[in-house]
Structure 1
């Protein structure tokens, strides 16, 4: 179930001490003195709570409330006809009757938006055909595509029947497979021995590569090869930058069994950045036993010369093959290959070159059968009448569709902007009320489905049942709805963490022309100054001077003013990213936001670290207006002052 979290932090008492917003919307809020039972609550609204609200509505004895009571009682959840913002206060009055003014409650509840079972079942991870699946169809493991002879419509049901345990009537499964219009021919093929593209493992700055059977060990320091995700691609990355130590990091493959090979080889792709010294070597061992404790006692042969390792004068190279190592000399043996990184962040000059590797594979080149050309295809299958069959009524976006949109995947936020245009082109003669179920990929490993309806000459998404969390506060008028977004920015390495959102934004925008704006670890940026590693917004001159627009020769006040405006700009971007569906009003109340971030080393402040809370107002689609900011030390700065 998709969740929309409207409020992510409990409300602070100080928030209401001097805010014009509260005075406008909560008349008399400031007038009550000395509350004794200020509390914060979190509650998940249950179906069993519905009768409490229904009883209160009927007690009002008016036609409108009686009608609302009937709708709520029938649906057993909130909807546009029975809004939670006006009805939940009835429940809170009985649930938290002892609460005092300024108490708050976050309530999670179900909201009826009409999402049906079909789109829910289709919003699952896809099933990707494996080499074993193709072998099941062909009887050979080197043919890695379906063809007209082995058609998807006939082959995929066989594969799903074998792999999906206990399917139920009406179950859907998204399937990914390769298809060739031509039949297989005799050719040289790669029989894989080991392969690692890092896509199937958790990724992000600070997350170490952890593949079953592989070793990732720093023999001298405390770093390691990290599994990094960028531009919808995962890869392994290493650098001694800021390690403060000497590093001897080994990323060692699991055993490569060459006992039954004909023409074995080894290859990988590479990117090199911020070159300062040759830090990477590729080594091979015949007597290593796969145990971490015996790395240094094994004999390792340096085979780096078999590969092309770039040495860029500046910046980063583009992804390219490092070449291929011929392993015929090791046929009949079992070997290990190590990516050895020798870095030093303590030396002068430092040895901190960044290396990124991907598509690591050992394979045996043999004569077999395979298709010359193949294309990735997506399809939806349904278990119907006790068998799997193509769900012909479901539209699965194809790779060519994403290419036409200029995207690799389609997020749920982007879908309403792209899918109506796609459906208009695909169904130019659609009639009023026509519906289409459409499946699209939101990432390499996930799919999402929507139902679209043709209404008044346009395609629009049908509504779903979703889960919402909203906040209510207790005023002198009782419990009232409060849509203010309260966010204390959190640091972290995941792409969805607060500071990292701005880091990724700069990566995709300003850093394209100026890569120096991103730290070597990829978790800090120096255009707005946001760091997911330290959890702050740096005003430090050393960091911000990496931005070519920064007034390096300005006074401390001029620099601070420049960075203040940049921070406000970044907070606006942050809110559009974190709350892409925010509206100007929620149930008649202005949508406000209070975002707290930590500013480090402001040149005009005596405080090395200073939390600032920025008050913003949503004034349009993905448009926020700056109202004021307040320091934890009491300084208040309003817009225009």
Structure 2
């Protein structure tokens, strides 16, 4: 009847009102179609994707309060004013301690007197690392950690101008023949039967390797001729030599390619050899200054073109061999084989050897230079540092206003040996620390007591960010080491204000029998409540005929202060009370904590 009256009233106003009739009808329909309800929902992985949260969690409470109203409006479009929603979600609360990676820069090493990208071999890095970290972190917090990664040279290091001393592409025309004749004595015999090492017009090549033109030479295991070609001598520091090779046959093994001093001298260095692995593959080896070679363990294929690069350190007699399938701008950290021999051999010539047990195949694109970079390029290159250096990592913590090495009490860094004992190389997405560290720490610290805490730092390989240093706090709990959770499961409540969803801290609470007993016990001896308490104890409800509004509010304060201690200012409650106001039924009252008192809201 009310609706009919309202429509009639509106109809009568059509001719006098400026508001269109359809707008009024739409407003009435909206009021009548609005429904309210209480929902509980926990966000799923799909929801986090829709919210563009790639980490599957909110990074702050404010972010959740900002993003979830639109999400709720989309998910529950029919809910209106008076509705509530309790949303479960994941919240990132931060790590147990701050941990950063820092890689030293050129200006950091300069503090130790080094003009290179690394500490010199006679420097103790710990004399400088704390000061370097202080220079680079202006406002660290107590307990922060930094993993400082630095380089240190293992021997002498020096600056050189990259120079190619020798390049041979075997570009000797279209007629095959013996090498010494075809090359017009660019190559000369120094041992064995002359004219057995042959020139072929077919060449080897590799993308981006600068020596790829002309013909090549062929080795034969049946041949015995050894030849060499001279270049401007390299008398100190490093010498690199390289060649493209393709072998069709290998025997018991011997060297076939090497550096020489003067013709007639047998002070050979960087001797490169090949032998069979017994399964139809090639093993390559290196001898620094001796025919006793150190062979690698990688099996390489016959009939495949490889780039061999051999180095010889004239100052310390160390030779390394690299076997590459493509040209590389930088020298790899790990060679295929390493051998140490006599130091001091100068590099005056490059030698090719055919001997018993040697391979059969093709050699092309020979180069000799003083740096790796000039082996790989014919460009004019800037001066560069040559020297062997290793990468190290040191963990420092900020304690009492200074960066110091952490004490062993309460701190542990997982080592390569530790990872090996766990049967893995590092932690990552498929090898979570929490799957390994509880058991490892129990073994490592068998006498740890309940409640002991330990900051653990470890290497972590991320599929998106690469190698990182990470860490977590572990606490001995019920006999198990439990990691601190940086992401927690929590809830956030919202209320619909008639227009949108707004964050709401309202706690819904319905009084129980114990609460009514508490109210009666609290006010039994107060003469102002005598009739109210008697009625409560007789009928088990709050009669609005016996309880005033002020008395009901006082009773609710008693219940809330007893059951919910430590509430913050502004906390809201929706309290359901069993009342009698002509009939017995539940009634809900809203309260907010203001000045320590719950006031009806």
- Taking structure 1 as the reference length, what is the TM-score of the superposition? 0.31
- Kindly name which structure, 1 or 2, has the bigger radius of gyration based on alpha carbons: 2
